[in-house]
Amino acid sequence: MELLSTLVDKGCRGELPTREEALAVLATSDDDLLDVVAAAGKVRRRWFGRRVKLNYLVNLKSGLCPEDCSYCSQRLGSKAEILTYTWLKPDEAAAAAEAGVAGGAKRVCLVASGRGPTDRDVERVADTMAAIKERNRDVEICACLGLLSDAQAARLREAGAHAYNHNLNTSEAMYEDICTTHEFADRVDTVRHSKDAGLSACSGLIAGLGESDEGLVDVVFALRELDVDSVPVNFLIPFEGTPLAKRWALTPQRCLRILAMVRFVCPDVEVRLAGGREIHLRSLQPLALHVVNSIFLGDYLTSEGQAGKADLDMIADAGFEVEGADTTTLPEHRNPPNATGSPEHPGDTNNTRDTADTDPVPPAARTDLVTVRRRGAGTDLPPNA
């Protein structure tokens, strides 16, 4: 297929596809799916070889968020029966993080629900990072605390944070359909604040919210324009008790096409397979490893993932290897010349397509596939790592 040859050539040179080419990837048929994955795999291997970076989430503060993001189980008014608790103590968070590192995680992601942190919250997270570093000096730490000011970003960098995560989630045009308590621009500003402070910018998307192909392409191009270092690709987890509980619009094939499109638009960037992979990709998860170069290990913020050992087995069975702590994740040209001791930075709508015309019929709602987390941070039970 000429399209795929063009995309491979561009991707291996680090060049971006056009929006039309990105849309064309999403419009490919299931008959061409393996060709699409193989093409994206060539770009992935050009920049990242066969390495898979493991990331581990620690939910520092769960539930009771004042924001109304319709996809989130922690949102204002959520009826989802998730764990709710206030801030973990530094030693509790460090113990949870240590379990992830022992399972092979190179990066620990510290997440707290809420619109954004107070300065006191930032200091609390700084203490937590110190406790984690005391046990695992070389681990990367990514903070995800909501909307952030310039000064707070600088303080997190000073305290030892390597990266900051704040997802755009969906396109600017669709944003008001999923959230009314803050705007798309607020999220963009936070990504910029983190970059200005010298933090590695991590920002991604959620697929399956009801977006069009054009919307998916728009958000991925927005991420590329922000020049983020890592792009987590989440697939909607339709929690009972949230407005999107009945929205099951994804198939494994659709998910793979989305991942491939992201890889072509972000050829030399860490693309992370994130929340919802077990639910929507199911038995095709190993194929996704040919496109992404990073995954979350074990559980997510409020839902359980597959067992950490199953993740490691899947990586090995698919012929990949876990990326070591002493390996640089990003290609050399994406690292600043003064980076020392840090694996990365220190710091048009004319082609609307009804995907139902060509994609397989989405599965019926499967509430049995979503398991509310009852172990790990905030509980007396050991984490899944």
| pLDDT at position 186 | 98
How many CB atoms lie under 10 A from the CB of residue 348? 10
List alpha helices for the chain, DSSP H.
2-12, 19-26, 33-48, 90-102, 119-135, 150-158, 175-178, 184-196, 213-226, 252-265, 277-280, 285-288, 308-317
The pLDDT of 177-204, averaged and rounded, is 97
Q: What is the DSSP letter of 341?
A: S
CA 204 – CA 209 distance, rounded (Å):
14
Considering the domain boundaries, does residue 339 fall inside one?
Answer: no
| pLDDT at position 209 | 97
CA 123 – CA 118 distance, rounded (Å):
9
CA angle 286, 110, 51 (to 5 degrees): 30
| pLDDT at position 335 | 78
Q: At 234, which helix (H) or strand (E)?
A: strand 230-235
Considering the domain boundaries, does residue 333 fall inside one?
Answer: no
Beta bridge partners of 143: 110, 164
- List Cβ neighbours of 87 (8 Å cut-off, separation of 6 or more): 60, 61, 112, 121, 124
Considering the domain boundaries, does residue 382 fall inside one?
Answer: no
Q: Model confidence over 154-172: pLDDT tens digits?
A: 999 999 999 999 999 999 9
- Taking the CA atoms of 80, 146, 205 and 216 in sequence, report the sign of the dihedral they define: positive
Q: Angle, to 10 degrees, between the axis of helix 90-102 and the axis of helix 119-135?
A: 50
Q: Model confidence over 281-327: pLDDT tens digits?
A: 999 999 999 999 999 999 999 999 999 999 999 999 999 999 998 89
* pLDDT higher than threshold 60 for residue 341: no
* pLDDT higher than threshold 90 for residue 352: no
| pLDDT at position 104 | 95
- Say how many domains are in the chain: 1
> What's the pTM value of the predicted model, to 2 decimals?
0.89
CATH code, domain with 268:
3.20.20.70
Considering the domain boundaries, does residue 253 fall inside one?
Answer: yes
The pLDDT of 238-244, averaged and rounded, is 95
Q: Which domain holds residue 166?
A: 14-327+348-369
Considering the domain boundaries, does residue 238 fall inside one?
Answer: yes
CA 98 – CA 105 distance, rounded (Å):
9
Q: Which has the higher per-residue pLDDT, 339 or 19? A: 19
CA angle 147, 150, 155 (to 5 degrees): 95
The pLDDT of 339-354, averaged and rounded, is 39
Q: Which two tokens stand for residue 114?
A: 């809420």
| pLDDT at position 279 | 95
Amino acid at 255: C
Per the prediction, the chain carries an average pLDDT of 92
- Residue carrying structure tokens 């959620």: 206
The pLDDT of 360-379, averaged and rounded, is 80
DSSP for 345-375 reads -----S----GGGTSPPPPPP-GGG--B--S
Amino acid at 269: V
| pLDDT at position 371 | 87
Amino acid at 134: E
Q: Which two tokens stand for residue 256?
A: 């793979």
Confidence bin at 36 (pLDDT 50/70/90): very high
CA 35 – CA 38 distance, rounded (Å):
5
Considering the domain boundaries, does residue 21 fall inside one?
Answer: yes
- Of the candidates 110, 13, 120, 44, the one whose C-alpha atom is nearest the C-alpha of residue 294 is 44
Considering the domain boundaries, does residue 297 fall inside one?
Answer: yes
CA 304 – CA 121 distance, rounded (Å):
26
Considering the domain boundaries, does residue 70 fall inside one?
Answer: yes
